[in-house]
Structure 1
Amino acid sequence: MLSTLAVKKLMPKAFSGVRVLSITPCRQAAAVAQSSDAQVAKAQPLAQYEDLYPSSENIPISLEEKVANWKRANEIFFGPERDLKNFPHPVMPVTVAETYHFGIIPTRWFKALYPKLGVSGGYTVTLGTILFLLSKELFVLTYETIELIALFSILNAVRWKWGDNIKNFLDRKQKEKMDFLYHTPLHEATKGYKTELTQINTEIERKEAIPTIFEAKREQVDLQLEAEYRERLANVYATVRNRLEYQADLEHTVRSFEQTHMVNWIVNSVKKGITPQQEKDSIASCIRTLKGLSATASI
């Protein structure tokens, strides 16, 4: 029923708006044109001041510039010129060792009132405030007040009795949560990044060692080529020497053969030219010479 009434009330308004839009498009166009002209007219006096103010657009910064900015900020806050002994970095404590009076009023409030009100100043202000509220009936005592006092007493007793245990339990749970959500993932990510950095540094060292390795391999190839060249040169020398020695031996053999043949031919020719009578006379002459030599030797 309510939805039907709402539709009956809202539909005419919606269609009336559509009718106006459909009937008066020219008026709307004129209104839009007038508003745009007014905006342009307002913007023209400000255009002359655009050069005096910096642009609010994001200025693109390269990765090298970002790294340089981080290094410069690190040198300013953590560099050697920073006096960390006299001006250390502020550290936000995780927990604050706070003590309370009446279970809810911090002790530091009493210490702040001590210079002007003395030791009993904090108690006087507390009890006086309570009495003021009661006397002016700003705080009315009802049965709920007794329940509030009882509840406050029970909670205060629980805090005094098991407050440290509850605090330690909650701190332990918070620490486990922080370890699970932040510290452990951060440690694992840091460990993984260190491993990746080690691998990247190893690859960088390998890349830097490539020219040295290439030079060593080139020298090794040059030594191999030099050794091969010297071996082939020695083979050529040995081959040429063997051929020269063969040629020399050949010529020596031919000469020796010719000489032997010449000697044999001369000897045979001489033997053929000696007659038997000349041979006998020669033998007899040799015998006489030997006899003369023997006689001379005996004397």
Structure 2
Amino acid sequence: MLSRVALRSAAARQSTALVVRGSATEVGGARDEQNFPRPVRGEPGKVRLGFLPEEWFQFFHSKTGVTGPYTFGVGLATYLCSKEIFVMEHEYYTGLSLALMVYIAAKKLGPPLAAYLDKEVDAIETEWNESRTDSIKSLENAVEAEKTAQWRAQGQELLIQAKKENVLLQLEAAYRERLMNAYTEVKRRLDYQLEKSNVERRLSQKHMVDWIVTNVTKAITPDQEKQALDRCIADLAAIAGRK
């Protein structure tokens, strides 16, 4: 009974400390696990004789020594029995037999039961930790997926920019092609006009030359032609004499 009271008081103090610590660490939405680590499952304190807390013996040890707690217990029991404050009737011996059976059962069945219960507690704690770890891992995977999606979105922006540049290049190529077609057509027409002018000029010159030769030929009389021929012969003879 006394050990239960001590354990309850310790649990109450721990729960109060956890409430204060939780209120101090949850400010801002993030837990400061470095300065305020997560609570660890507490273990019950040490006891002697199966039900007396170790703190009682430490309290007597500083005043009466090592045998003080036992002397106090034996003296108190002797006083209660001698003054018949605690009457040892048949229920007392029944209680002794029950206590003996409980002691034997605790010694025989206590360690396996304690190991089983500890195993169950560890399994529950492991399951909770696994669920917490899985939640953290899923959140980390979600963060990585979000980063990947952001990276892909940036790639889509680059792809759209490249497509815009390709469209601009295609427009520039089409513009230059049309400009070259216009230049070629204009040059072809100008070449045609130039060739036409050249042909007309050659025809005009040929026609003019033919007309002049014809008119000159018509204007020369037979006497003028004979005189010119004689003069040419005389000139050739003079040139031949010089040589």
Query: How would you bin the TM-score normalised by the shorter chain?
Result: 0.5 to 0.7
Say if 2:107 is the partner of 1:156.
yes
The residue number in structure 1 matching 2:49 is 102
- The one-letter code of the counterpart of 2:27 is A
Find the aligned partners of 2:105 and 2:212 in 1 and give their Cα distance: 156
Identity %: 27
Report the CA distance shift for 1:168/1:112 in structure 2 as closer, same or farther (over 3 A): same
The residue number in structure 2 matching 1:112 is 59
Of residues 13, 16, 27, the one that matches 1:73 is 27
Higher RCO (CA 8 Å, separation ≥ 6 residues): 2
- The one-letter code of the counterpart of 1:225 is L
- The one-letter code of the counterpart of 2:232 is C
- Cα deviations by residue, 1:29-55 (Å, 9 ceiling, x for unpaired): xxxxxxxxxxxxxxxxxxxxxxxxxxx
> Does the CA-based 8 Å contact 1:98-1:106 persist in structure 2?
yes
Report the CA distance shift for 1:286/1:94 in structure 2 as closer, same or farther (over 3 A): same
Say if 2:189 is the partner of 1:238.
no
Describe the SS at the equivalent of 1:74: coil
Normalised TM-score (structure 1):
0.55
The residue number in structure 2 matching 1:34 is none
> Does the CA-based 8 Å contact 1:103-1:156 persist in structure 2?
no
Report the CA distance shift for 1:199/1:129 in structure 2 as closer, same or farther (over 3 A): same
The residue number in structure 2 matching 1:32 is none
Describe the SS at the equivalent of 1:185: helix
Aligned-pair distance for 1:152? 0.6
The residue number in structure 2 matching 1:295 is 241
- Of 92-101 and 259-268, more deviation after overlay is shown by 92-101
Structure 2 unaligned residues grouped into runs of 5+: 1-23
Aligned-pair distance for 1:110? 1.5
Find the aligned partners of 1:77 and 1:189 in 2 and give their Cα distance: 16
Aligned-pair distance for 1:149? 1.6
Find the aligned partners of 1:92 and 1:139 in 2 and give their Cα distance: 47
> Does the CA-based 8 Å contact 2:25-2:36 persist in structure 1?
no
The residue number in structure 1 matching 2:196 is 250
Q: How does 1:80-91 map to 2 (within 5 A)?
A: 88-89=35-36
Aligned-pair distance for 1:224? 3.7
Say if 2:69 is the partner of 1:122.
yes
Find the aligned partners of 2:68 and 2:176 in 1 and give their Cα distance: 109
Find the aligned partners of 1:221 and 1:107 in 2 and give their Cα distance: 86
Report the CA distance shift for 1:103/1:144 in structure 2 as closer, same or farther (over 3 A): closer
Q: How does 1:8-47 map to 2 (within 5 A)?
A: none
- The one-letter code of the counterpart of 1:261 is H
The residue number in structure 1 matching 2:122 is 175
Say if 2:126 is the partner of 1:192.
no
- Cα deviations by residue, 1:238-257 (Å, 9 ceiling, x for unpaired): 22222122112211211112
- Cα deviations by residue, 1:188-228 (Å, 9 ceiling, x for unpaired): 33333333344445555666787776666555544443443
Find the aligned partners of 1:284 and 1:138 in 2 and give their Cα distance: 192
Report the CA distance shift for 1:76/1:143 in structure 2 as closer, same or farther (over 3 A): closer
Q: How much is the aligned-residue C-alpha RMSD, in angstroms?
A: 4.0
The residue number in structure 2 matching 1:145 is 96
Find the aligned partners of 1:214 and 1:172 in 2 and give their Cα distance: 60
- The one-letter code of the counterpart of 2:235 is T
- The one-letter code of the counterpart of 1:102 is L
Find the aligned partners of 1:192 and 1:125 in 2 and give their Cα distance: 60
Normalised TM-score (structure 2):
0.65
Find the aligned partners of 1:148 and 1:213 in 2 and give their Cα distance: 84
- Of 210-219 and 89-98, more deviation after overlay is shown by 210-219
Aligned-pair distance for 1:73? 1.4
